[in-house]
Each structure stands twice: as C-alpha cells, then as structure tokens.
Chain A
Amino acid sequence: MVELDPQRWLTEHGDYLFRYARRRLMSGDLAEDAVQETLLAALKARQGFQGASSERTWLTGILKHKLVDIIRQQAREVTAPGGEGEDDPQDWEALFDDAGHWTHPIRDWKTPETELETSRLRQALQDCVDGLKPNLARIFSLRELTGLPTEEICKELNISATNAWVMLHRAKLFLRECLEIRI
C-alpha cells in the first residue's frame, strides 16, 4: 500500500489540480486556494481512501466539491444590488434576424493539428472562458466543467430552471462567438 503523504500529493498532483481548478474558476488566486483546501481535506479524510480509484481521481473528486463551494460562495457575494457585469439580452438578439436566421455565416472550425495550433487553442479557450460575464461563468463552470446536474445548480444559485437554461445557452453562444474570432 502506498503511503498517503500530503507533501507528495502536492509534488505529484499540485500542478494538475491547479490547472483543473484554474479552468473552472475566474482567478489564479482562487485556484490556489482550492488546491490548498483540497489537500487539507484529503489529509483529514485519508483514512477513507480505499485505493479503489487512483490517487489523482480521488483528489480531483475532493477538488470538485471545493469548486462548487467556492463558486456558490462567490455567487452570494456578487448578488449584491446592481450586480457586476450582468449580460445584456440585446447582445444576443443581433445574432439572428427577424426570421430567426443567423445574421452571419458560421465558420467551419478545424481541429488543431500542430503543437502550435494546440497551444493557441488552449490559450484561446482559457481567455474566452475567463471572458464570460460572472453570472454566466458560474453556471457554465458548474454545469459543463464540473458536471453538476441542473437541478442542483438551481438550488445552489437559487435560480429557476428557465433562468438556468437561458444563461447556459448564452454562455455557450458567447464562447462560440469568442472562439470564432480567435481560432
């Protein structure tokens, strides 16, 4: 049996956990906090690790719970009056004409083939996810990147299902628009 050593977790999985968290949170600081909280929680719970899954899978599972906690907490902090940077429905109307057709042709994207294209895509993805308005970023992160069921997200963020669908749809439209000009 491998000894469960927190310092070794940090060495072997620290960067992986950080990148996983970074993709799902809006700042590097928050991602660092998430890694710390995850390793502390893992230390506390290490008796419970049965070795049924890999260490990394086990740690990632703990991290997912921490991410949900952090995103939920942030959602509370910014639902203050006025809210920052809510998105404007007007932005989305321009995508379609009165008959509901696309106003601009949709490009045919290519899968990256070279190392350079892959690294440019990775950067573009991160920039576009970071560019989401906070309210859209939270729900997109919980649903698409962390895989929480929609019903749970509605409870966590205290929103209706209809509201959740509208925001998820807009988040995806935003990412597409953003990537369309970057890749």
Chain B
Amino acid sequence: MAIFKCCKETSQLVTLLADRPSSWQDRLAMRIHLLVCINCARFARQMRMIREWLRSEEGGGELSGPARARIAARLNGAAQEPEKL
C-alpha cells in the first residue's frame, strides 16, 4: 500500500467515499493527504458543500398554471372513476 496518494487518487477516494468500498489503508492515506494538501482539502470541503446545498435546496420554479389545471382535471377524473385508476 502507498501511504502517499496523489491528488488525482485522493479526489477519487473523496468523491466515492460513500459508494466504492475502500480499505482502511486507503482512507488513512486520504486523510494524511488532506492534512497536507490545501487544494485537496478545499476540494473535499467543496464536495461536502455541494452535497449539503443540493439536499437542502429544491430546484427552482413552480407548477405552471396550465400544468396545474391539467393535473387538477386528471385528479378529478380519476377520483370520479376509481375503478379506472
């Protein structure tokens, strides 16, 4: 095992931490790299920020008037003919 990872390898360990199984040696090497590399430390922080922002923020916009009317009509139709649901 290599205790020193390059930025490229570290970036993969960071982005795939929750997805790809990794050995404790790899995770340790990642942590060491993050302690000494300002770019990768910022990268890891940015990844956390993106995740938090995307989870806390919804997409923009709202249902358009026509879409709302269309859905309301479909729901009405369906409610009156439950067997067709």
Contact = CB atoms under 8 A, between A and B. Distances in A.
Interface of A: 6-7, 10, 14-16, 18-24, 28, 31-32, 35-36, 39-40, 43-44, 95-96, 99-102, 105-109, 111, 121-123, 125-126, 129, 143-145, 150, 161, 164-165, 168-169, 172-173, 175-176, 179-180
Given A6-B75, A10-B72, A125-B57, A106 B43 contact: yes
Interface of B: 6-9, 11-12, 15-16, 19-20, 38-40, 42-43, 45-47, 49-51, 53-54, 57-64, 67-68, 70-72, 74-76, 78-79, 85
B11 A40 contact: no
A106 B46 contact: yes
Given A6-B75, A129-B54, 10 more contacts: A10-B68, A18-B61, A31-B59, A32-B63, A105-B39, A106-B46, A125-B57, A164-B19, A165-B20, A169-B12
Nearest to A100: B6
Majority secondary structure, A binding face: helix
A2 to B, nearest CB: 17
Smallest CB-CB A-B distances: 9 pairs: A100-B6, A23-B59, A22-B59, A19-B58, A100-B8, A15-B62, A106-B42, A32-B67, A106-B39
B62 A40 contact: no
A14 B11 CA distance: 39
Contact of A36 (B6, B7, B9, B70): B70
Contact of A125 (B54, B61, B72): B54
A109 B78 contact: no
B61 A19 contact: yes
A80 to B, nearest CB: 27
A40 B74 CA distance: 8
22 contacts: A14-B68, A15-B63, A18-B63, A18-B67, A19-B60, A23-B59, A28-B61, A32-B63, A32-B67, A32-B70, A44-B78, A100-B8, A101-B8, A102-B7, A102-B40, A106-B40, A122-B60, A125-B57, A126-B60, A165-B16, A168-B16, A169-B12
